[in-house]
Structure formats: structure tokens, C-alpha cells
Chains A and B, each alone.
Chain A
Amino acid sequence: MSPPGRTSTRAVSNWRAKLVRRIEAGERFAGVFATVDGTSVRLTAALASAGRTELLDATLPPGLERYPALTPQVPSAFWYERELHDLCGVVPDGHPRLDPLVLPLTDADPRPRPGASQQPPALTPHETPLPPHLAGTGLFTLPHGPVRSGAVESVEFLIETPGEDIPHLRVRPHHKHRGLAKRFEQLSVPDGLLLAERVEGIASVAHALAYAQAVEDLAGIAPPRPASLVRVVHAELERIANHLDVAMRLADAAALAVATARFGWHKERVLRLRSELGGSRFGRGVIAIGGVHCGLGRELGRPGLELSELGRPGLELSAMGRPGLELSELGEALAVLEHDIAADERAAMATASFLDRLRGTGRLPVETAAEAGALGPIGRASATGPDVRRRQPYAAYAELGVEVVLGSAGDVQERLRVRWAELHESFRLIRAALKLFDAEPAPAPRKPLPVPDGRGVGCVEAPQGELLYIVEVADGRLSRVIPRSASFHNLPLLHRVFAGDIFTDFPFIEASFGVSIAGVAG
């Protein structure tokens, strides 16, 4: 990846005007973040356009921690500005509703201030119930969460309703805030990868990959070709597992017991395949900075793939996975799996009682999706399709080619359809990657390199959508890491999809979003 525009510090108003102008000209807003930098606060906005993700900086004058909010002109900045207010205490003036989002704090409380050298005091959550937003006869607030039924992540939904309709919904992900931004700052560059794997546990490979790419961008290196192919295999297996999880949850919401069991079984098979390949059911420990920790087939544990890790010299690596799974066996297992999945997929998509619940439910209009820059399968089901694998190809995707599937109905059914298509595309990519890998000669072992100071950007297509990592290194250690998951960008769209839907549609809509709360809460 070519290094993006690194530092373009401008006066804040110029910065803001430029951002608004470029977004109006068609670039996509991908986030705004704040970092404490000595005595002042630096704002960083990310803009995505064809082929690159660019960062634009502006430093606030020392002592003045406010700026004119972006949200009035750029609606998708809504959650980002609430988050930077929570984390840094910076006030975006004119923000329509600056309620706490990722930290349950009042205005008087101290903030964690990522980037600052001192550690914040222990968090004391503010537990006073929120006043309702809506007023009217018969309206009441139904608190749903943070502890909810089933084995799911903690999140609170405040549903303001007259009974059946859902005219207003609030999402409160702060309960499980883990302070990840500050935690990254205490780690060495190689250890940061381990934390990245745990930002969103269900997308460990994508996070590790985005982090590794950010560091590689900073160090100006590229992984050897066989390592890129291994990265594709693991990233696509992760996508398959995630999409099957969404299908399983939808079937469960429709009380289709057999379909739930079948999709659950297929998902288990994918996780088992991943553990056979890399030793972890979630692909942890597979990605290394500058390469991968494990190969494929007979090549499992080949040193040429592994010795490329940066910053930690003298690695003697042993295989993480269990050797013995030949490439041909792997290919066969994948073929059987895809065949089984396809048969159950066809049956599910022909089951009237299932489709009745999906069709027209949770509709995200095409214009809304485009305005919000909706990411991943949610965006693609509403004809908004940034797919990083194509827009800004990484690993071996440029060579393999990725077919992006778009839909336009924007409902739960369309999101599931897009996911099925992506799942089959993933199988195709894995097959192609395995074929290339088989013919690939072993690369020569490389010496570990030191990581220079500076800032790098990594961008990958996680199962949830575009995942962005901004990694800053100072004196050889992490000074600021911003993991921006697609879940964080997409979850506020939940406010916009309840037109005409009622309570019993809630589980379908939530499942179809397929987000991870861990990545939202930070």
C-alpha cells in the first residue's frame, strides 16, 4: 500500500471545510478520531476514495478543546464525535446530541485521553436511567439488555414504543467498554497484534491483518507471496464462519430448529478446519507482522514464511497447527462443505415461513445507505458497495480478483442473499489461493527489521465490512492505535431501519446486521 498523506496540519476551520468539500465531491467519510498530543489535541479524519484511505489532521490550539462539529454536514460522523467526546473530552460544538456512547460518564468525570502519557483513574460507571426522548400518550421505554437472553454479547437497547411499533431506539454499547485504546499504548509493536486479535474476537484474522498491514505500511515492507496466499485462506474462512453465524441466528429467530442445527453444524466444521490449519478456531496466532506464523499442508511450519516477523529477533518457530493435513485433503474437505452448505441454503431460501419473516423487514433505503456510507454486506444489500478487497486490494486479492455482489432491496432477506453470494465467492478465493500456493517455491528466510517511528494505515474487508487501523509508533513502541471496526460504523444505522417493523422483527434485524459489540464499545 502506498503511504497515505501523513501529516497535513491545518487550521481547524480549513480542515473542516476541506473535509466537507471532499465528501460532497464524492469521497467517503470513514471516521474522525482525537488523540492527545502533548498539550494539544489532534483531530484525525479518514477519507476513503478509489484505491486509498487518506488521513487528514488538524491540531486544536492548546487549551481550546472544542471545534465546530462535523455531524450537521456529515451525518455519519454522529457516533464518531460522540466517541471522541467520551474518550478525550473534546466538545464538537453544534453536535445534535452529545450523549455518552462508549463510556458511561457525566461531563465532570475525567476522560481516558488516548495519546496522553498518564493513565486515567479507574472508571466509575454512571448508572442513572436516561430520560426518554419521545413524549406522548401511552409511550413507554422498554430496556432490553445489557444482559439478554442466549449466549450473546452485552449491549443495551432502549426501545421507546407505544406497544408494537418501534418509533425510536437507542443503542448503548458502553457497558462492555474495555479501554482498548489506552491498553494498546502500553504494548510493544508485536504484542499489539495480540490485542488486535481480541478487539473483535469473531474477526480476529481481519483485525490482525489490518494491524499487520498498518505496521507494514509504516515499515515500507510487503509480505512474501506465499504468506499473502495463506492470509487470504484464513481471512476467507473467517468470512464463511461469520456469514454462517448470521444464517444460523436468522434461522433461530424464525424457530426453524433443523435449519439452525444444520447451519450451526456447518459453522462448527469451518471452525474445526481453521483449528486444524492454524491451531485456533478463530485463526489467532496465524497472522504475523510481515508474514504469517503458519503455512499450509506439508508446508506447515516452513521457516521461510515465519522468520519475517518484525521487531522480535531470533524467533525459532514451531508449527501452530497440526501437520498432516495435505492440500488435496483440505481442498476435498472444502468441496464437501460447500456442497452441504449450498444444499441447506437452497432449502432455507425456498422455505416460505422463513422468507416471510425476512422479506421487507429492516429495510435500509439505498439513499440512506449511500449517505451513511454503510459498510460490508449491509451496505452491499443497499447498493452501496465499498469492498476493500477490490477498492484497495491487499494480500493476494489483486491477483485472485474479487467479485462484489450488490443488491438493492436493502431488507433482511437481501442482506442474507448478499452473504450467501459472498460465502461462495470466499470458497472460490480459497480454492484459487490453494492452487497458487501449491506451485509456490519456498521464500528465503528474511531478517527481522526494526519498526521506524511514524504512522501507518491498514485497511481490510472484515466479514462485517471495511476495517481500518491507524497505528502510530514512537520510540519503537505503540503510541496510539485506532481500531475502527465496521460494526462501529454500521450499528447507528439500526436507528434508521425500523420503519413499519415491530417488536418481533427485532431479532431478525439485529441478526442481519451481524455486528460485534466488542468492536463497538472499544
Chain B
Amino acid sequence: MPWVLRGLRNGILTTAYPKRPDPYGSGFRAAPLVAAGGAVAAAVRKICPTGAISVDAGSVHLDRGRCILCGACVRRYPDTFRWAWGSETSALHRRALVVPADLEETEAELARTRAALATRVRRLRRSVHIRHVDAGSDGAEEWEIQALTNPTYDIHRLGIFLTASPRHADILLVTGAGARGMLGPLRRTQVAMPNPLLVIAVGTDAISGGLVAGGYATVGGVAGELDVDVFVPGSPPPPFAILHGILLALDRLPVTPASAQ
């Protein structure tokens, strides 16, 4: 059978997201959530291998930007933590990744950031080119970005493309914990890109360094090196989460995105 016919034999495999939610995307473990509180012992934070949990005067906060989804907290303290489901996890502020969030403050600030972002990206419309840079990832994030071009996600239908040349790129998609050996190449890539430039940090490693933060060889995430516009937590984030982050950066999501909570 020629390849052309072979390409037709299974019909349309592509998701309807973001028009309609996708059952696979919404059935994904997003991050642990802090379940309705009560007093919690300070020792709870010790369960987290990346220091994502903080306990302040008996109230618990969990930083999704540090969480590597190992599930140790959910297993050990099921009354305090439970899984949240869904892939719409990305955020426009580093602080918005900390749950439970201070809602009033966050929402006012969010509206301002979204408006500013919308003006910046208006001209991009449906021709958006992405330059990816690996700044010290474990290799899994690259698979998930690559997956966005497979028939099930097919970002080309949304007018989004991966490009080789930074000169053609609108979005800098950064993965990895910020290996010091990659900071030079990362900076040179960014300088080679035209404005308006959007920076998306993909994965917990890119946001905070994850489990490899704090060594001699990494800077603990790329947020200190670049002005990050969108944070996509996850270790690695599934393709739907990365897609959500890209659409969030492009202001192409409904005004109140269905929160993973």
C-alpha cells in the first residue's frame, strides 16, 4: 500500500484541544494539591526531596515550580496532600505556581500581565515559530516537545511551528536546569531572536532546577537568566501542558482558563 493511503487508513487522530477539552489531557496528574488544611506539623516539609513544601505557622504551601511529582507527600500524608488532575498547569507568574494561592492578589496581577502580553503578541496571529534550546534537561522534555508535531497534537493546525533559525523564531522554549555550559549558547540564541520575544520555561528543571538545583554545574533554572513569560511545571510536563503554556503565551485561551484545581 502506498504511503499516501497508509496515512489515511486511521482517519483523523488529532485532538480538538483547545476548542474542546481532551479526555487524555484532563486525566493527567498535574501536581499534588494541599487539601483543606488544619494544623500541620513542620516535619511535613521534610518529605519533599526538592524542598517544594513549606510550612508557615501551621499552614502548608506547595511550590509547583519545584515539584517533580514523585508523590512522596501524597503517599505519606494523604490527609494533607492529594493529586490534582489536568494538564492546564502553566502560569504567567512564578508566584502563581505556589498553592494554595492568594487568589485576590494573583488575579488582579494576572489580568494586568495578560493584557500586556496580549499587546505584545497581537501581530503574531497564526504564524508562530518556536526555537527550542536544551539548557541541561534529562532528555524527556525534548521527547514531549517533539510529540507536539505528531498527529495526535499536530501544532501545525494552530499555525505553530518549530524552527531551526533563531532569526525566524517568536518563542524561545527552554528546557533543562540551566547547565552552566549552556548559558552562553542560550544567551546567544536569545540575542539572535527578533522582538517581540516570548520565553517559555518548560519543566520543573527549567523553572527551579528540580532535583539537580544547587550543584556546581547548574544555576537552578533559567528564570534568573532570562525574562520568563510562561512557566510550565512538570517533570516532564506532558504535551498538553506544553501546548497549554504556548497558547497561554499567545493569549489564545479563553479568558479564565479552566484551572487544574
Contact = CB atoms under 8 A, between A and B. Distances in A.
B218 interface: yes
A119 B216 contact: yes
B140 A201 contact: yes
Contact of B150 (A146, A264, A281): A264
A246 interface: no
Interface residues of A toward B: which range? 35 or more
A151 B181 contact: no
B215 A175 contact: no
Contacts of B109: none
Interface stretch (B23-31, B57-65, B94-102): B23-31
A165 to B, nearest CB: 24
A192 B220 CA distance: 18
A428 interface: no
Nearest to A174: B181
Interface stretch (B3-11, B223-231, B244-252): B3-11
A178 B179 contact: yes
Contacts of A174: 181
Given A125-B180, A178-B177, A268-B147, A259 B140 contact: no
Q: State the main secondary structure of chain A at its contact with B.
A: loop
A102 B69 CA distance: 29
Interface string B164-201: 10000000010011011111111001000000000000
A510 B10 CA distance: 31
Nearest to B29: A279
Nearest to A309: B75
A215 to B, nearest CB: 16
B189 A147 contact: yes
Interface in B204-222: 205, 210-212, 214-218
B164 A149 contact: yes
A122 B182 contact: no
B73 to A, nearest CB: 11
B132 interface: yes
A154 B211 contact: no
B232 interface: no
B217 A177 contact: yes
A444 to B, nearest CB: 20
Contacts of A168: none
A322 B29 CA distance: 10
A183 B215 contact: yes
B139 A518 contact: yes
Contact of A284 (B144, B149, B235): B235
Contacts of A123: 180-181, 216-217
Contacts of B6: 258, 262, 344, 347
B162 interface: yes
A180 B147 contact: no
Nearest to B186: A147
B28 A275 contact: yes
Contacts of B215: 178-179, 182-183
B210 A178 contact: no
Nearest to B85: A322
A318 interface: yes
B108 interface: no
A200 B139 contact: yes
Contact of A177 (B149, B173, B179, B214): B179
A258 B212 contact: no
B137 A175 contact: no
A516 interface: yes
A385 to B, nearest CB: 25
B129 to A, nearest CB: 12
Given A122-B180, A125-B181, A151-B162, A182 B1 contact: no
Interface of B: 1, 3-4, 6-7, 10, 13, 24, 27-29, 49, 68-71, 74-76, 78, 132-147, 149-152, 162, 164, 173, 176-177, 179-186, 189, 205, 210-212, 214-218, 235-236, 238
12 contacts: A123-B217, A147-B133, A152-B142, A153-B139, A154-B182, A179-B217, A201-B138, A201-B139, A268-B150, A284-B69, A318-B78, A518-B138
Given A121-B216, A178-B136, A200-B138, 12 more contacts: A119-B216, A122-B180, A125-B184, A154-B133, A176-B179, A183-B215, A198-B235, A200-B139, A272-B24, A279-B29, A316-B75, A516-B139
